[in-house]
Structures are given as C-alpha cells and as structure tokens.
Structure 1
Amino acid sequence: MLTFEEKLNIIEEFPELEKKEISLGRVNFHYEESVYDKKVVVYRLHPNGNGFVYAGEMDDYATDDKGMVNIKEMSADELRTLIREAIESLSLSPAEKNPVMEEWLNDNDQSLVLMREEDGFHVYAEEQLEGTFNSYEEAVNFLEQEGFSRL
C-alpha cells in the first residue's frame, strides 16, 4: 500500500488539479476545468492512506453511490491511470465522449440525420430541426414510427 506522501506526490503530478486542505489533515484535489458540476477528483485523501477518486462519469470502475472509487490499496500505476481517466471523463461532455451522427432514410428517399448534442438527441432534415429527444431510444422510436430506417 502506498503511503499518504506517496499518493500525494502522485496526485501532485497532475498540474490541472488544485489542492484544497480540509479537516483532520485530509486533502481534496479539484479539477476546476470540469465541464460538469462535479469538480472534486480526489476526495478526502487521509494521512492513513485512505481516500477516493471520482469515477462517476466512467463505466470501467465499480463506484459507491457517490461515484467514488476507494484508492487505499491501489498501486502507483493504478492510481495514475485512475486519476488521468477521471480528469479526462470530466473534460468531455456526453456528446464528445459518445458522439452519434446517423443518417436515416425512408421509402421516398427522404433523409433525416440523428445527432447527439449537449442537451440530448436531435433529428434534422437538412438544417431544419425536426425533433428533440432526451434519449437515443426515444429518437429511434420516433424515426421508426415515421417510417425511417438507419443506413
């Protein structure tokens, strides 16, 4: 297990993180450039070596109900990777992480484009907005009901 000082040194390798002293000798590290409301990447790093990293925007880690991963037993390489991925996950919007741009066609050779954008999924006929949806599934349902098929 890495010591508090070793973990602190690793975390401080990331210049984009800002150290914030909190109570009982613990520290948080914030990523102020986050595109989300969530800014804390390293949470409650304790002098006993315990602490957490926010992974709530990632799919590859088992997290608690707050989106945190416990780092107490992590190796140096595991910690670096987790922090790098956490920063990246807070740097990109959902549309940038998982872009969608699909062309749909009906039997009359009319085409619509389904795009993921910051506020949801949008269907366009050329530059004209035809519909806005909260999920991909809702948009696909609309397109299929209107007689369109994905190319």
Structure 2
Amino acid sequence: MLTFEQKIAILDSFPELERRNVSLGRVNYHFEGSTHEKKTVGYRFHPNGNGYVFAGLVGGYETDDKGFVNVRDYSEEQLREIIGASIRSLSASSDSPNRASSAAASAFASNAAPSSDEEVWTDESGQELILKFEEETFFIYSGVNLEMAFETREEAEEYLAEEGFSFNRR
C-alpha cells in the first residue's frame, strides 16, 4: 500500500487538479475544468491510507452510490490510471456525456500499442482489445486493426461485454 505522502505526491503531479485541505488532516482534489457539476476527483485522502477517486462516469470500476472508488490498496500505476480516467470523464461535454473533450481526444492520436490513455479489455482466453476515443468516435482495435466503431462509450462497453471482454486495470 502506498503511503499518504506517496498518494498525495501522485495527485499533486496532475496539474489539472487543485489541492484542498479539509478537516482531520484529509485532502481533496478538485478539477475546475470539469464540464459537469461534479468537480471532486480525489476525495478524503487521509493519513491513515484511505482515499477515494471519482469514477462514476468512467465505467469498469465498482463505485459507491456517489461514484467513488476506495483506492486504499492501489499501486502507483493503478492510482495514476484511475485519476487520469476520472479527469478525462469529467472533461466530457455536459450535453454529450460520453464524448471526451478535444483536448482529451488528442491523447488518443496513435493506433500503435496501447498508451496509458487507452483502455485494454481482455477476455478469458487472454485476447486483448483496445478501446480508444478518436475524432468524436469510440473505436475498438485488435492490435492495429479496427474491430468496431461506436458513437457512445456505452455502446462500445456493451459490445465488449457481450463479446466476453472486461476492463483490464493492469
């Protein structure tokens, strides 16, 4: 488990986030660039190790009723991944919640091997598909080959689930 200081250093490394100290030594992180009412990405990070990240718009994570995931036992890589996904999800246009902003979309420019901004989905046999957002569309790739394209994230995730794939948080 990462220490409180390590978790705070990771959150501090995201320039989009604004640190806000709250009661009992806890720290919250807000994303003022959010296009949604929700602005809190990091919630109640506490010296005892607890902390939560908003993933209510991300998909692939078990969240509480407010959309938060307890990241107490997350590795550095897992924590960075969920924070980045949270920021991207809150960057989505409020009139089209499943579409990322053009700034976030530019992170998906390459068709090569998965970058940290692409999602790897795996089936039981270990086959991997890549879900990425480009040019206002959600594309699913098998390696460099295009498998499917969808207008919304929900449609893409539904297709992946029907085909037996689940999000891989490696």
| Mapped partners of 2:4, 2:58: distance in 1 | 25
- Give the SS at the match of 1:96: coil
Deviations 1:109-148 (A, max 9, x none): xxxxxxx8xxxxxxxxxxxxxxxxxxxxxxxxxxxxxxxx
Residue 73 (structure 1) aligns with: 73
> What is the percent sequence identity of the aligned residues?
52
List structure 1 runs of 4+ shifted beyond 4 angstroms. Answer: 97-100
Return the index of the structure with the highest Cα Rg.
Answer: 1
State the AA in 2 paired with 1:57: L
Residue 109 (structure 2) aligns with: none
| Mapped partners of 2:11, 2:45: distance in 1 | 10
Q: How does 1:85-100 map to 2 (within 5 A)?
A: 85-93=85-93, 94=97, 96-97=99-100
Distance 1:5 1:37, change over 3 A: same
| Mapped partners of 1:68, 1:91: distance in 2 | 17
| Mapped partners of 2:61, 2:34: distance in 1 | 19
Distance 1:95 1:67, change over 3 A: closer
| Mapped partners of 1:95, 1:7: distance in 2 | 28
Count of residue pairs brought into register by the alignment: 102
| Mapped partners of 1:96, 1:57: distance in 2 | 11
Per-residue deviation, 1:96: 2.0
Residue 37 (structure 1) aligns with: 37
Residue 165 (structure 2) aligns with: none
Distance 1:25 1:95, change over 3 A: closer
Residue 6 (structure 1) aligns with: 6
Residue 55 (structure 1) aligns with: 55
| Mapped partners of 2:80, 2:37: distance in 1 | 23
Deviations 1:2-28 (A, max 9, x none): 000000111111011000010000000
| Mapped partners of 1:63, 1:95: distance in 2 | 18
For normalisation by structure 2, the TM-score amounts to 0.57
State the AA in 2 paired with 1:74: Y
Instruction: Provide the alpha-carbon RMSD of the alignment.
Output: 1.9
* Gaps in structure 1 of 5+ consecutive residues: 101-115, 117-151
Residue 24 (structure 1) aligns with: 24
| Mapped partners of 1:4, 1:92: distance in 2 | 29
